[in-house]
Amino acid sequence: MPLPVPLPAKTPSPSRRSVLRASGLGAVLGVLAGCGVQPAYVQPGDRAATDLSASDKRLTWANWPLYIDTDDDDPTRRPTLDAFAKSTGISVGYTEEINDNDEFFGKISPALMNHQPTGRDLIVVSDWMCARFVRLGWVQEMDRARQPHVAKYLDPLLRSPAFDPGRRYTVPWQSGITGIAYDRRRLGREIRHVSELWADDLKGRVTLLSGVDEAFALLMQGNGVDITRWTADDFHTVCDQVERKVHSGHIRRFTGNDYTKDLVSGDVLACQAYSGDVIQLQADNPDIRFVVPEEGAELWSDSLMVPDLAGHKANAERLIDYYYEPEAAAELAAWVNYVCPVPAAQAVLADSDDEETAALAENPLIFPDAGMRQRLAVARDITSTERLEFARRWNGIVGL
Please list the pLDDT of the chain residue by residue as tens digits (400 residues).
333 334 333 333 333 433 333 333 344 344 444 434 444 555 554 556 799 999 999 999 999 999 999 998 998 899 999 999 999 999 999 999 999 999 999 999 999 999 999 999 999 999 999 999 999 999 999 999 999 999 999 999 999 999 999 999 999 999 999 999 999 999 999 999 999 999 999 999 999 999 999 999 999 999 999 999 999 999 999 999 999 999 999 999 999 889 999 999 999 999 999 999 999 899 899 999 999 999 999 999 999 999 999 999 999 999 999 999 999 999 999 999 999 999 999 999 999 999 999 999 999 999 999 999 999 999 999 998 999 999 999 999 999 7
pLDDT at site 34? 41
Q: Is residue 11 part of a domain?
A: no
Q: DSSP character for 139?
A: B
pLDDT at site 234? 98
Residues 185 and 275 grouped into a single domain? yes
Residues 62 and 142 grouped into a single domain? yes
Q: Is residue 18 part of a domain?
A: no
d(CA 221, CA 75): 40
Residues 183 and 169 grouped into a single domain? no
Residues 91 and 170 grouped into a single domain? yes
Residues 181 and 277 grouped into a single domain? yes
Q: Is residue 14 part of a domain?
A: no
pLDDT at site 36? 40
> Residue 94: enclosing H or E segment and its boundaries?
strand 91-95
Residues 311 and 183 grouped into a single domain? no
Is the separation of the CB atoms in 270 and 205 below 8 Å? yes
pLDDT at site 46? 54
pLDDT at site 69? 96
pLDDT at site 42? 53
CATH number at residue 77: 3.40.190.10
Q: How far is CA 225 from CA 256, 293, 310, 358, 372, in A?
A: 24, 13, 39, 37, 18
Q: Is residue 382 part of a domain?
A: no
Residues 100 and 141 grouped into a single domain? yes
Q: Which domain holds residue 286?
A: 176-298+390-398
DSSP codes, 234-269: HHHHHHHHHHHHHHTT-EEEEESTTHHHHHHHTS-S
d(CA 83, CA 86): 5
pLDDT at site 31? 40
pLDDT at site 356? 92
d(CA 61, CA 325): 19
Strand partners for 176? 300
Residues 137 and 231 grouped into a single domain? no
Q: Is residue 385 part of a domain?
A: no
- Name the amino acid, one letter, at 241: Q
pLDDT at site 257? 84
- For the whole prediction, is pTM greater than 0.95? no
3-class secondary structure, 80: helix
Q: Is 93 left (phi over 0), alpha (psi -120 to 50) or beta?
A: beta
pLDDT at site 338? 95
Q: Is residue 195 part of a domain?
A: yes
Q: Is residue 280 part of a domain?
A: yes
Q: For the chain, how many structural domains are there in total?
A: 2
pLDDT at site 24? 36
Q: Is residue 20 part of a domain?
A: no
